[in-house]
Amino acid sequence: MIAQLEAMQGAKAVDTLQASAVAFFQFYSTNHAYFDLLVTKRAELVRESGVDIVQDFEEAGRGAVGPIAKAYSAGIESGDFRRRDPEKMAFVLRAVAIGMAVGFREGNLKFPDDVALLTDLVLNGIIQS
Amino acid sequence: MIAQLEAMQGAKAVDTLQASAVAFFQFYSTNHAYFDLLVTKRAELVRESGVDIVQDFEEAGRGAVGPIAKAYSAGIESGDFRRRDPEKMAFVLRAVAIGMAVGFREGNLKFPDDVALLTDLVLNGIIQS
């Protein structure tokens, strides 16, 4: 997934963000047990693991956030995105993607049909301008 | 939480949505074990429960989404919000709130400091207009 993102260096920031979200939704739908453990058992996993594992774990987390922050920065520089802290925004966008993935799994939201609704929300917000 | 929402009938739609999100973040931070079960063990919970419990369960889910959909509808009618399916939007906003609550718990996002960043994202999106 990260390799895919890095290959998108030349792409528009919006396309990079959407592609990363879709890649995550697809990955999550077949691998959600891993994420479930991270959410519900994080403290236990960290406590019961060696220092190396915890470092790998933290790096994997940063690995997902880094490319999103980079895409956000690129979007600010091109004048497309609002000027916000790119790393904070990466964590917020990651949070949005995690919640949406859970919604897809519950079945209240449909993948890929409802991705467009989420993209529109993230890009334009709900306020009628 | 739902009673709080219903008491806000006269409030602006934006205020209602933000208040419901904040109420949820506070509730989630002290009661996340319940949500964790819903996410990771939903199929088992439904399978091992009687018909009445499953109905209560579905109603509780709708109970949270109904007031959000109503607030979204009110925002469309007042001309504040973009015209989208209010129920779909309620599920998307609920998904966003769930993801954000997980982010607060992981510690990558801070409650209540980062609520403003999320509110801005949901209201205005990331596109520089």
Residue A40, sorted as left (phi over 0), alpha (psi -120 to 50) or beta, turns out to be alpha
Residue pLDDT, tens place only, B43-58 = 677 777 777 877 777 7
Residues 11-50 of B with CB under 8 A from A: 14, 36, 39-40, 42
3-class state of residue B42 by DSSP: helix
Euclidean distance between CA atoms B25 and B27, whole angstroms = 5
Domain of A62: which CATH number?
A: 1.10.357
Residues 69-98 of B with CB under 8 A from A: 72, 75, 79-84, 88-89, 91-92, 94-98
What are the φ and ψ backbone dihedral angles of A32, each rounded to 5 degrees? -70, -20
CB contact at 8 A, A39 and B35: no
Q: For residue B85, give its domain range.
A: 14-121
Residue found under tokens 């409650």: B111
Q: Which of A36, A82, A106 sits opposite B126 (nearest CB)?
A: A82
CB contact at 8 A, A42 and B106: yes
CB contact at 8 A, A101 and A29: yes
Residue A44 placed within a domain: yes
Residue A127 placed within a domain: no
Q: How many CB pairs under 8 A join A and B?
A: 146
- In chain A, how many domains are there? 1
Written as tens digits, the pLDDT of chain A (129 aa) is 556 555 655 678 999 899 999 988 998 888 877 777 766 666 677 777 777 877 777 777 777 799 999 999 999 999 999 999 999 999 999 999 989 998 898 888 999 999 999 999 999 999 998
